[in-house]
Amino acid sequence: MLKVAGLRLGNFINHNGEPMPVVQIERRYKTIFRLNDLDVDERIIEDHFQPIPLTPEWLERCGFEFRKQDEDYIYWGIENFTIIYGGITGGDHGWFLNGYHNDCHIQYLHQLQNLYHALTGEELIITL
C-alpha cells in the first residue's frame, strides 16, 4: 500500500500501469493530490494507486548507470550518488544507499526521488 505521508511534488506513482507525477499537493481539512489533470483525495491514493518498484529500468530512466557487480552486490550510480542491490543480515534483499545497508532500504521510485533530493538538494530527472 502507498503511504501518502511519503509523497512530495514530483514523485511518480503508478495508476493502472501508468506512471503519474504528483504535480500539486493541497492540504486543507484533507490532503488533495493533483496527478496530471486529476485531483485525488489521499484515501483514494492509498487505496487505488501503487508505488513504482525500483528496478534497473527505472534507474536508467533516472540517469543511473550500472557501475559494477561482485558476488554479493550490484552497484548503480549517478555522479557521486551510489546505491547497491544485495542482501543484508536476515536475508532481506533490496536497494540500499551505499554505506547504509541497514538504515536505508529503498523499495520504490518515490523513495529514491526523496532520498536523492534530501542528500543532494536537487531533483532526480526521470525520462519516461
Write b or e for each residue in 39-55: b if 16 or more Cβ atoms lie within 10 A of its Cβ, otherwise e: ebebeebeeebebbebe
What sign results for the dihedral spanned by CA atoms 89, 72, 85, 68?
positive
User: Cα separations (Å) of 117 from 63, 110, 122?
Assistant: 14, 11, 5
Q: Is 54 helix (H, G, I), strand (E, B) or coil?
A: coil
What's the pLDDT score for residue 87? 60
What's the pLDDT score for residue 98? 66
What's the pLDDT score for residue 91? 54
pTM as predicted: 0.85
Cβ contact 87:93 at 8 Å: yes
Grid look-up 484533507 returns 30
Cβ contact 76:59 at 8 Å: yes
Ranges of the chain whose pLDDT falls below 50:
none
What's the pLDDT score for residue 92? 55
